[in-house]
Chain A
Amino acid sequence: MVDAPAPGTAPALELSRVVKSFGAVVALRSGTIALESGSIHALVGENGAGKSTLVKIIAGLYQRDSGEFLLRGESVDFRSTAESKAAGIAVIYQEPTLFPDLSVTENIFMGRQPTNRFGRIDRKAMKTEAQGLFRRLGVNIDPDRPAEGLSIADQQIIEIAKAISLDASVLVMDEPTAALSGVEVDRLFAVARSLRDEGRALLFISHRFDEVFDLCDTITVMRDGQYISTDPVADSTVDEIVRRMVGRDVTELFPKQEAVIGDTVLEVRGLNSAGVFHDISFDLHAGEILGLAGLVGAGRSEVARAVFGVDPYQSGTVRINGRKVPPNSPTAAMNLGMALVPEDRRKQGLVLESSVARNTTMAIRRTLAKAGILTSGEENASARVWASRLEVKTNALDTEAGTLSGGNQQKVVLAKWLATNPTVLIIDEPTRGIDVGTKSEVHRLLSELAGQGMAILMISSELPEVLGMADRVLVMREGRITADIPREDATAESVMFAATQAANPGDIAATHAPEEHVA
């Protein structure tokens, strides 16, 4: 068991001014947090605030570039997850990491099973210990059953059992409640409190403020990879925390042109996909930029993919200019004038090994080809038009797309879709991973297109982008649209509030696990 903290001793775990960058992208500018034994510490922040990076450094998955990492007052450098585990740190990821083919018991003890002196695993002892752990956690799980098919909640219990059997002094839970129902959350919290009372230090990452305020003792806010503040939960209010999470200047960075909003072009009614999103209805008008905001995992990209026909949906209709778009057919959607610029351009938007010209003309190959044959001359001619309009910086059109910078790659993807002359453009995270200069170019371009009457649905996790660009903001939370805010009323606080607060806390049980994103 872990000793209770003597007053004045070093925190169980302390990070100060930790920096981590990936290439040119700085994921963590200044990570600072101090976890006390016998206390539950909340870490909150917007998407991309650097929480996940911080967790991965604690877990030994990433190594910090600079800054201090102290465990019980001593500096540590974990080079692997095994080392951080050995030091008594257990991390429970959003998506539990279990071995589906192996029994629950083996999952708990893998790599450190009790053995006799011949190296033979003592299965009986292992099973007895597993039963003891489950009894202590108050759950009924058969220790012999395979991990396959366990609910996310039970999988998390297995992870917690693992952490307890390791006698971990520090427990990190990265959005553990994202996929849990109300009852399951209560059970998890009961377990978390009893672990705290045993003198362990817990770090709890969540987007749900009701839970944070219910469970935690201390709260740390991060923003843009930077430490902002740490306060006792008792002295904090939701409003204040939200303000700190978003509190940056929404400058006139984005040259949004005033555009004339025209007729309804895209009409979505009652779209449902079990476990992914529910009852999605909205209109998109010509010349309008509609921002779709929400936290990672709220189901925004999924809605976009369903509207475009990449993913199926169970019920609801999508219409363009009054004509019904058949579900599940991107080709039909394209023919009706829809274009989708996906979030992950490297995976879904570009053929990295192909030339810029080929990528640009990909979506219009069929119309460009004569008698089924496409000459590279025609390809280049068409590509040149778009490349110059979007100012793609590349020496030659036959450069491989994979060698371009992030911003230029994004322009190539845009060019590809703009070449189809869409009336509706759906664009998912238009400026993710792009430097500031190129960002405003992309924004100017979007604004121009809207000015020419194109209807744009822009999904973005960056609040300033949404607030700066959108004529209207839809906010999603856990698969539902929770707010429709006109430009005049849209503030960082109002959007963030709609993205994090349920109307009735706890009664919306998300049934899907949000994707894990590297912040």
Chain B
Amino acid sequence: MTTLTPATPHAAPGAPREKPAVVRGLSAFVRARETGILLAVLLVIVVTTVKNPSFVFSSDGWRDLLLTPSILVIVAVGQAMVIITRSVDLSVGSVLGLTAYLTGRLFIDIPGIPMIVVFLAGIVLGGLLGLINGALVAFAKVPALVITLGTLYAYRGINVVWAGSDRINASDMPKDFLALGTGQFLTIPLLTIIALVVLIIAGWYMKNTRGGREFYAIGSDPAAAGLYGLRVVRRLLIAFVASGALAGLAGVLYAARYGTVNSQAGSGWELDAVGAAVIGGVAIFGGSGTVWGAAIGAVLLLTINRALPIIGVPDFWQRAVVGALIIGAIVLDRVLALRQSRRLLEAREETK
């Protein structure tokens, strides 16, 4: 990263100093936090492909590249929305597990149930579980970290009681449904398309609507948001319901993709989701970052996982690399934030 173009903190109002839209768009792209992560993803892909061309240039390689991160992208988008409001949702792995199991059970217990009903059931259950999280956080005023750590265990416990040692197998579910998990459209896996649609909608909402911007405001300064008269409780509830519903959707897709679901499905996914968001530049204390960043973070996380064995990094080190990535991302964020605030302060001194 070289020095960024110095900001123009005091452009004289009215002075026609606007650059053409293309130039501004390009410079915004170069400066965006997400660009760095995207470059890292490309770097990993290029290096691995040089070592083993089939990583990209084979139909399986291409499919896996897109398919592997798709479900995590969906969960990470929800997670990013929650983290941006200065909360965190650690229960997403358990929500995913519950809805994945629900998916299998519905197909077994109600033969011939329409697929759309199963999808809706998964999303609604996820949303309800998210609503419980949100309500506890917003009304009980207990930090989300604690609440969702509790529901992480509670939801998983319900799953274990419900499923016992039972396991849903691919043969229990209809072929059409399982085809979703592997199907493609113009060589792009269907799951990836679903993930992209989710990402585009969430990204648009967060960037362009009042509701989305209020998420950022609340995360940036919760006390100010209250004084401002923003509906903080409502926004928090929406964030948690969105995160739960997306984890619910991910659970249904999980069942379609893997075909087998036991009571431990999705264990540990919450950490991948938080990791993806943080790597993607979502500030852990809220207020900044984008769902796009979180999605790219998810891609980087899972692509590295697959690339390391190919490059020849032993199993043992793979987790350590992921850890280093997360710490690196947080340190980078901190450094960038400090540099930004110093720059802003300097700009202020100059104009005094």
Would you call B49 an interface residue if the criterion is a C-beta within 8 Å of the partner chain's C-beta atoms? no
Q: Say whether B223 faces chain A, with CB atoms less than 8 Å apart.
A: yes
Interface residues of B in 338-352 (CB under 8 A from A): 340-341, 343-345, 347-348, 351
Q: Does A97 contact B (CB under 8 A)?
A: yes
Residue B10 CB within 8 A of the other chain: yes
- Cβ distance A116 to chain B, nearest Cβ, rounded Å: 10
Question: Does residue A93 face the partner (Cβ distance < 8 Å to B)?
Answer: yes
Question: Bound state CA distance, A98 and B287, in angstroms?
Answer: 12
B227 close to A (CB within 8 Å): yes
Nearest CB of B to A109, in Å? 9
Shortest beta-carbon distance from B312 to chain A in Å: 41
Known contacts A99-B221, A100-B287; 18 further A-B pairs (Cβ under 8 A): A80-B229, A93-B227, A97-B227, A100-B220, A101-B219, A102-B217, A110-B230, A111-B217, A121-B209, A121-B213, A140-B10, A141-B10, A145-B344, A146-B344, A148-B340, A149-B341, A149-B347, A149-B348
Contacts of B210 in A (CB 8 A): 111-113, 115, 119, 121
> How distant is the Cα of A61 from the Cα of B340 in the complex, in angstroms?
34
Whether A97 contacts B221 by the Cβ 8 Å rule is yes
Are B214 and A110 neighbours in the complex by a CB distance under 8 Å? Answer: yes
State whether A113 touches B227 (Cβ < 8 A): no
Docked-complex contact B287 and A145, CB < 8 angstroms: no
- Docked-complex contact B344 and A148, CB < 8 angstroms: yes
What residues on A are CB-neighbors of B229 within 8 Å? 60, 80-86, 111
Between A and B, 13 residue pairs with Cβ closer than 8 Å are A85-B229, A97-B224, A99-B217, A99-B225, A100-B221, A101-B216, A102-B213, A106-B217, A111-B217, A120-B209, A121-B208, A135-B13, A145-B7
Question: Is A213 in contact with chain B by the CB < 8 A criterion?
Answer: no
A62 within 8 A of B: no
B213 with A106: CB separation less than 8 A = yes
Q: For the complex, is A491 an interface residue (Cβ under 8 Å from B)?
A: no
Judge if A134 is at the interface, Cβ distance under 8 Å: yes
Interfacial chain A residues near B226, Cβ < 8 Å: 81
Q: What is the CB-to-nearest-CB distance from B238 to chain A, in angstroms, rounded to a whole number?
A: 14
Question: Is A82 a contact partner of B231 (Cβ separation < 8 A)?
Answer: yes
User: Which chain B residues lie closer than 8 Å to A83 at the CB level?
Assistant: 229
Picked from A110, A113, A140, A148, the residue with its CB within 8 Å of the CB of B228 is A110
* B288 part of interface (Cβ distance < 8 Å): yes
The residue that A97 contacts in the complex, of B228, B340, B343, with Cβ under 8 A, is: B228
A83 and B223 CA atoms in complex are apart in Å by 17
**Which residue on B lies nearest to A122, using beta carbons?**
B208
Sort A-B residue pairs by CB-CB distance and give the 10 closest, nearest first.
A149-B344, A82-B229, A101-B287, A97-B224, A99-B220, A101-B220, A81-B229, A101-B288, A120-B208, A140-B10
Question: Given the complex of chains A and B, what is the CA–CA distance between A149 and B343 in angstroms?
Answer: 9
Contact in complex: B351, A140 (CB < 8 Å) = yes
Q: Which residue of B lies closest to A139 (CB)?
A: B13
Whether the pair A98, B224 counts as a contact (CB closer than 8 A) is yes
| Chain B contacts for A151, CB-based, 8 A | 348
Q: Pick the contact of B348 from A98, A131, A150 — CB < 8 Å? A: A150
| Docked-complex contact B230 and A135, CB < 8 angstroms | no
Give chain A nearest CB distance to B335 CB in angstroms: 15
Residues of A within 8 A of B3 (CB): none
B228 contacts A134, C-beta separation under 8 Å: no
- A142 part of interface (Cβ distance < 8 Å): yes
Nearest CB in chain B: distance from A129 CB, A: 12
Number of A-B contacts (CB under 8 A): 105
The interface residues of chain A lying within 8 Å CB-to-CB of B348 are 149-151, 154
Q: Which residues of B contact A146 (CB under 8 A)?
A: 340, 344
Q: Which residue of A lies closest to B344 (CB)?
A: A149
Instruction: Please classify how large the interface on chain A is, using the bins under 10, 10 to 19, 20 to 34, 35 or more.
Output: 35 or more
**Residues in chain A near residue B340, CB distance under 8 A:** 146, 148-149
Count contacts on B: residues with CB < 8 A to the other chain: 38
Say yes or no: A142 contacts B221, CB within 8 Å. Answer: no
Interface of B is mostly: helix
From DSSP, what is the main secondary structure of chain A's interface residues?
Answer: loop
Residue of B nearest to A97 (CB): B224
Kindly identify, within residues 65 to 110 of chain A, every residue whose CB is under 8 Å from any CB belonging to chain B.
80-86, 93, 97-102, 106, 110
From 79 to 138 in chain B, residues with beta carbon under 8 angstroms from any chain A beta carbon are: none
* Closest beta carbon of chain A to B338's beta carbon, Å: 11
B9 x A145 contact (CB < 8 A): yes
CB distance from A140 to the nearest CB of B (A): 5
Chain A residues near B201 (CB-CB < 8 A) = none
Cα-based distance from A142 to B7 in the complex (angstroms):
10
B5 to chain A, nearest CB (A): 13
Q: A residues engaging B (CB < 8 A)?
A: 59-61, 80-86, 93, 97-102, 106, 110-113, 115, 119-121, 131, 134-135, 140-142, 145-146, 148-151, 154
The distance in angstroms between the C-alpha atoms of A60 and B228, with both chains bound, is 11
A85 to B13, CA, bound (A): 28
CB-CB nearest in chain B for A86:
B229
- B12: which of A86, A99, A140 is its contact (CB, 8 Å)? A140
Interface flag for B14 (CB, 8 Å)? yes
CA distance A317 to B217 in the complex (A): 45
B7 closest partner in A (C-beta): A145
Least CB distance, B352 to chain A, in whole angstroms: 8
Q: Which residues of A contact B341 (CB under 8 A)?
A: 148-149
Is B11 part of the contact surface with A, judged by Cβ < 8 Å?
A: yes
* B8 interface contact, C-beta 8 A: yes
- Please give, as numbers and ranges, the residues of chain A lying within 8 Å of B10 by CB-CB distance: 140-142
B11 closest partner in A (C-beta): A142
- For residue A134, which residues in chain B have a CB less than 8 angstroms away from its CB? 13
Q: Give the residue name and chain of the B residue nearest to A181 (CB).
A: B352
Residues of A within 8 A of B13 (CB): 131, 134-135, 140
Shortest Cβ gap from A94 to chain B (Å):
12
- CB neighbours (8 Å) of A119 from chain B are 208-210
Bound together, the chains give a CA A131 to CA B210 distance in angstroms of: 20
- In the complex, what distance in Å separates the CA atom of A61 from the CA atom of B226? 9
Q: How far is the CB of A291 from chain B (nearest CB, A)?
A: 34
Q: Across the interface, do B9 and A142 meet the contact criterion of CB distance under 8 Å?
A: yes
Q: How far is the CA of A148 from the CA of B209 in the complex (A)?
A: 22
Do B221 and A98 have beta carbons less than 8 Å apart? yes
Contact flags (1/0) for B195-213 with A, using CB distance below 8 Å?
Answer: 0000000000000111001
Mark interface residues in B1-21 (1 if CB within 8 Å of A CB, else 0): 000000111111110000000
Interchain nearest-CB distance for B88 vs A (Å): 17
Q: Which residues on B sit within 8 Å (CB–CB) of A100? A: 220-221, 287
Which residues of chain B have C-beta atoms less than 8 A from A81's C-beta? 226-229
- With both beta carbons as reference points, the residue of chain B lying nearest to A93 in the complex is identified as B227
Q: How far is the CA of A83 from the CA of B231 in the complex (A)?
A: 11
- Once A113-B210, A119-B210 are accepted as A-B contacts, the answer to whether A131 and B351 lie under 8 Å apart by CB is no
- Min CB distance B202 to A, Å, is 14
Question: How far does the Cβ of A433 sit from chain B's closest Cβ, in whole Å?
Answer: 23
Q: Is the CB of B231 within 8 A of A99?
A: no
Determine how close the nearest CB of chain B comes to the CB of A400; give it in whole angstroms: 21
Binary per-residue interface labels of chain B (284-315) against chain A in the complex, 1 for a CB within 8 Å, 0 otherwise: 00011000000000000000000000000000
> By the criterion CB–CB under 8 Å, are A149 and B11 in contact?
no
The answer to whether B344 touches A99 (Cβ under 8 A) is no
**Interchain CB contact under 8 A, A113 and B351:** no
Q: How far is the CB of B22 from chain A (nearest CB, A)?
A: 16
Contact present for B228 and A111 (CB under 8 Å): yes
Q: Which of B12, B224, B283 has the most chain A CB atoms inside 10 A of its CB? A: B224
Q: Across the interface, do A111 and B214 meet the contact criterion of CB distance under 8 Å?
A: yes
Q: Which residues of B contact A115 (CB under 8 A)?
A: 209-210
